[in-house]
Amino acid sequence: MIKVYNTLSRSKEEFKPIEEGEVGIYSCGPTVYNFVHIGNLRAYIFADILHRTFLYNGYKVKHIMNITDVDDKTIRDSRSNGLTLKDFTDRYTTSFFEDLEKLNINKEEYIFPRATENIDGMVKLIKKLLDKGFAYKAEDGSIYFAISKFKDYGKLSGVDFERDTKSRISNDEYAKDEAHDFALWKAWDEKDGDVFWETDIGKGRPGWHIECSVMSEDNLGQPFDIHTGGIDLIFPHHENEIAQSEAANEKTFVNYWMHNEMLMVDGQKMSKSLKNDYRLNDIIEKGYEPLVFRYLMLFTGYNQKLNFTWDALEAAKNGLGNLKNKILLLGNDIGEVSASLVDDFKNEINDDLNTPKALAVLQEVLKSDITNADKLATVLDFDKVLGLRLDEVKSETIDIPEDVIKFAEDRKNAKQEKNFELADSLRAKISEAGYEVEDTKDGYRVVRR
């Protein structure tokens, strides 16, 4: 049984699929006007752990992640860069896919619909909302959703507001917590340049929220099982998706809403002005492997605030290094997966993706009294969910001989037993073999001299 925290019911619920053995997931993807930052990546790693957890439990997973390649920001920045919208957004879409690959998120297992390729569907949905009286056309030709007409507005986010507001918002995002009628369709104006579509509802382009209602229904139907995103998307984005889809189709949009908490940097909100909106490449340039970042993310539950610091990343690097050293010591034989340890692991990961506790079970495997071959099999089995590429440990560390790793492990034990003489002699042996052992907060790591 998989339990998930559902933002809509504000409680942890047993997951019940619409189709037995299958799950449909929709995750809000990037707006490709810039490189994604590590806060965005946290959301995609969370979605990936969810995806892998269902696969691990034997589900067939259909996972959709949209690419927002037309909105206020993509138009503004493509024009200021003198590029067509497509050339501009393709650049950042490619970079986004590269980041996924580096974080071991297998993009072949996802479907990535692009907003610009789904304009017809959006026009159709907007027409339906106009016909049903949930939308209206303003003087300039833009079309707005009348939130006062949709009585469930606010059920996800809990926002409450004056229902008789006449104000409208044409930006894709609201300022603060104001609720207004939001744009479904924006009539063309000069600042859009050559970005427009000639359609039955006029010349213009879609608002931001409408694409997710359309692309989720096209791929998963309505209702579908799980919708994910960062908590910053609950309002207005997800609230608006619900309004559009439920008003148009008169049935539930999504059964389970899952939201990851924010990533802070050095205790502060990420922002351009603070220059702390790091990208994955900033991490790589400082000498860290991308999977160290993934490992760090798993130490905090997706539903907890996570404070990113370079010290924390360094600790994660050492931790992952130690883990790999221990795996290397297990030898090359792959035995049997331990059913009871898998049960322990499943209990944690199926409990609303409790990755910190799942990692603790991984350590228990290494300390357990099963054979090394069975430990290796079990660890690699868990890695189907964790996605740390632990199966590549052998080839990656092939240049560190096993006897050196053994010396390092014996030295650690000797130190723990306060046998410093033995520890020193083992360090000398490691050194003779051309390697250096470094003590770290969580143990040690071995490097070539």
Distance of alpha carbon 100 from alpha carbon 26, whole angstroms? 16
Distance of alpha carbon 34 from alpha carbon 27, whole angstroms? 19
Closest approach, Cβ 133 to Zn ion, in A, equals 24
Closest approach, Cβ 263 to Zn ion, in A, equals 19
| Of residues 205 and 427, the one with the C-beta less far from Zn ion | 205
| Of residues 230 and 301, the one with the C-beta less far from Zn ion | 230
First to last CA, the chain: 49
Tokens of 164: 């008789």
For 215-254, give the DSSP string: HHHHHH-SSEEEEEEEGGGIIIIIHHHHHHHHHHHSS-SE
Contact 379, 387 (CB under 8 A): no
Distance of alpha carbon 159 from alpha carbon 156, whole angstroms? 8
| Of residues 171 and 425, the one with the C-beta less far from Zn ion | 171
Site residue total, Zn ion (CB under 5 A)? 2
Q: Which helix (H) or strand (E) holds 374?
A: helix 372-386
DSSP state of 261: P
Considering the rule CB under 5 A, would residue 234 count as an interface residue with Zn ion? no
Site for Zn ion in 362-381 (CB under 5 A): none
| Of residues 28 and 408, the one with the C-beta less far from Zn ion | 28
**Orientation angle between helical segments 339-349 and 372-386, nearest 10 degrees:** 20
Closest approach, Cβ 78 to Zn ion, in A, equals 21
**Nearby residues of 406 by Cβ (< 8 Å), 6 or more positions away:** 329
Closest approach, Cβ 70 to Zn ion, in A, equals 14
Considering the rule CB under 5 A, would residue 297 count as an interface residue with Zn ion? no
Considering the rule CB under 5 A, would residue 212 count as an interface residue with Zn ion? yes
Distance of alpha carbon 115 from alpha carbon 41, whole angstroms? 20
Closest approach, Cβ 370 to Zn ion, in A, equals 45
Sheet holding 263-265, edge to edge: 268-269, 263-265, 306-308
Closest approach, Cβ 56 to Zn ion, in A, equals 26
Binding range to Zn ion, per CB under 5 A, among 36-44, 163-171, 205-213, 392-400: 205-213
Considering the rule CB under 5 A, would residue 65 count as an interface residue with Zn ion? no
Q: Put residue 213 in one of left, alpha, beta given phi > 0 → left and psi -120 to 50 → alpha.
A: alpha
Closest approach, Cβ 28 to Zn ion, in A, equals 3
Binding range to Zn ion, per CB under 5 A, among 140-148, 204-212, 273-281, 285-293: 204-212
Closest approach, Cβ 121 to Zn ion, in A, equals 14
Considering the rule CB under 5 A, would residue 122 count as an interface residue with Zn ion? no
Distance of alpha carbon 226 from alpha carbon 402, whole angstroms? 45
| Of residues 99 and 172, the one with the C-beta less far from Zn ion | 172
| Of residues 257 and 278, the one with the C-beta less far from Zn ion | 257
| Of residues 64 and 129, the one with the C-beta less far from Zn ion | 64
Considering the rule CB under 5 A, would residue 184 count as an interface residue with Zn ion? no
Distance of alpha carbon 251 from alpha carbon 143, whole angstroms? 23
Signed CA dihedral, 220, 223, 229, 232: sign only: positive
Binding range to Zn ion, per CB under 5 A, among 10-18, 141-149, 207-215, 408-416: 207-215
| Of residues 28 and 280, the one with the C-beta less far from Zn ion | 28
The one-letter amino acid code at 73 reads K
Considering the rule CB under 5 A, would residue 43 count as an interface residue with Zn ion? no
Binding range to Zn ion, per CB under 5 A, among 22-30, 80-88, 199-207, 296-304: 22-30
| Of residues 255 and 354, the one with the C-beta less far from Zn ion | 255
Contact 111, 63 (CB under 8 A): yes
Considering the rule CB under 5 A, would residue 25 count as an interface residue with Zn ion? no
Considering the rule CB under 5 A, would residue 220 count as an interface residue with Zn ion? no
Signed CA dihedral, 421, 427, 431, 434: sign only: positive
| Of residues 27 and 104, the one with the C-beta less far from Zn ion | 27
Considering the rule CB under 5 A, would residue 226 count as an interface residue with Zn ion? no
Closest approach, Cβ 412 to Zn ion, in A, equals 48
**Where would I find the beta strands (DSSP E) of 261-333?**
263-265, 268-269, 306-308
Closest approach, Cβ 211 to Zn ion, in A, equals 7
Considering the rule CB under 5 A, would residue 242 count as an interface residue with Zn ion? no
Closest approach, Cβ 235 to Zn ion, in A, equals 12
Considering the rule CB under 5 A, would residue 28 count as an interface residue with Zn ion? yes
Binding site for Zn ion (CB under 5 A): 28, 212
